[in-house]
Amino acid sequence: MSYTPVQLLENWILRQASDAGQAWLGSQREAVTTGDLKSLYMAFGFAPRKIGKADLELTERDLGDAAEARPGWMPHSWTIDQAARVLLLISLPSEDDAAFQASLEKLFQTAEIREQVCLYQALQLLPHQELFDDRLSEGIRTNIKSIFESIAHDNPLPMELMSEHAWNQMILKALFIGVALDPIEGLDRRVNPELARMLIDFAHERRAAKRPIPVELWRVAAPFADEIALEDMKALYASGELLEKSAIALALVATASDEADVILKTNPDIAKRAESGELTWREIAQQAY
């Protein structure tokens, strides 16, 4: 049987929270349901004190239920206060979309770091998500990594809502500030020629500065690799570190072009490992960061 996100969050909190914490959350949700903004704002702030900050203890089955309830929802790193805060937000009346958006914007504008992380992850479960695409673009301008990751990682909204320009900026900035690409939902689906061009330019900048090129870059640049990019990949495939060679091989295998095959043949051992599925982007990302 399938559940709604609200039912899942309630169940998970029920399993872990104290009786006092649950009673507190129940009464706060009731107040918020009436549209009482002061209660929402105070309860949103006090949630960790009242209900704790423990990690949600989720099983594989819970994660499966989550993905069924809301495709793309991956709450494996959520905490109990985060779950409580999201339930409070879902309780807010939302018939008037402009008022709903304004109330939430007030929270965004005054949120501290952990609250921002929670809000950006919460949006995927809230009504009127389409009103928050500018908010997502604003969020990725942050210089705080954990906030950036709350938007970029394990979050279906960028893939669903962001314009191509904002999406491309997010991918480039992730590489720029050392945030992994692999946990970005829809990464391979939203590749585009403009992004590939930006990434190749970035790779050249890094090379000129004698700095390493992030290995995940090739995953996104390869599908639209022009001659210059292929030359870059060929050179790195011959002289790079093992992790770079592995990334190039995976990227080239995915493009399935004649030029790619020619390059792959220059190091058949690694090519074979890439083709067989022995190498994965997940492992490469884990080793890279």
Partner 1 sequence: MKFIDPHIHVTSRTTDDYEAMAKAGVAAIIEPAFWLGQPRTHVGSFQDYFSSLVGFEKFRAAQFGIRHYCTIGLNSKEANNEALAEEVMEIMPLFLAKENVVAVGEIGFDDMTALEEKYLRIQLEMAKEVDLPVLIHTPHRNKKQGTYRSMDIIEEHEIPPHLVVIDHNNEETCEEVLRRGYWAAFTIYPKTKMGNERMVEVVKKYGPERIIVDSSADWGVSDPLAVPKTGNLMLERGVPEEHVELTCYKNALAAYGQSGQFEESDWLTPEPIDQRTLFEGNSVLRGGQDPRVDKPEDDRIIQ
List of residues contacting partner 1 (CB under 8 A): 38, 41-42, 44-46, 48-49, 77, 79, 106-107, 109-117, 144-146, 149-150
Q: Which is nearer to partner 1, 158 or 221 (CB)?
A: 158
Buried b (16+ CB within 10 A) or exposed e, 117-136: bbbbbbbbbbbebebbbebb
According to the 3-state scheme, what is the secondary structure of 230-258?
Answer: HHHHHHHHHHCCHHHHHHHHHHHHHHCCH
| Min CB(18)–partner 1 separation in Å | 16
Q: Which is nearer to partner 1, 56 or 271 (CB)?
A: 56
Residue type at 28?
Answer: Q
User: Rounded to an integer, what distance in angstroms lies between the CA atom of residue 274 and that of residue 75?
Assistant: 30
| Min CB(113)–partner 1 separation in Å | 4
| Min CB(99)–partner 1 separation in Å | 17
Q: Does residue 184 sit in helix, strand or coil? A: strand
Q: Which is nearer to partner 1, 106 or 282 (CB)?
A: 106
| Min CB(38)–partner 1 separation in Å | 6
| Min CB(85)–partner 1 separation in Å | 11
Q: Which is nearer to partner 1, 124 or 255 (CB)?
A: 124
| Min CB(144)–partner 1 separation in Å | 6
Q: Which is nearer to partner 1, 23 or 289 (CB)?
A: 289
Which tokens go with 204?
């050249």
- Nearest by Cα to 166 from 153, 180, 152: 152
Confirm if 213 and 175 have CB atoms less than 8 A apart.
Answer: no
Q: Which is nearer to partner 1, 38 or 61 (CB)?
A: 38
Which tokens go with 252?
């080239």
Count of beta carbons in the 10 Å neighbourhood of residue 240:
17
Classify residue 77 by its DSSP letter: G
Confirm if 51 and 78 have CB atoms less than 8 A apart.
Answer: no
Q: Which is nearer to partner 1, 62 or 149 (CB)?
A: 149
- Nearest by Cα to 242 from 224, 222, 267, 221: 267
| Min CB(224)–partner 1 separation in Å | 30
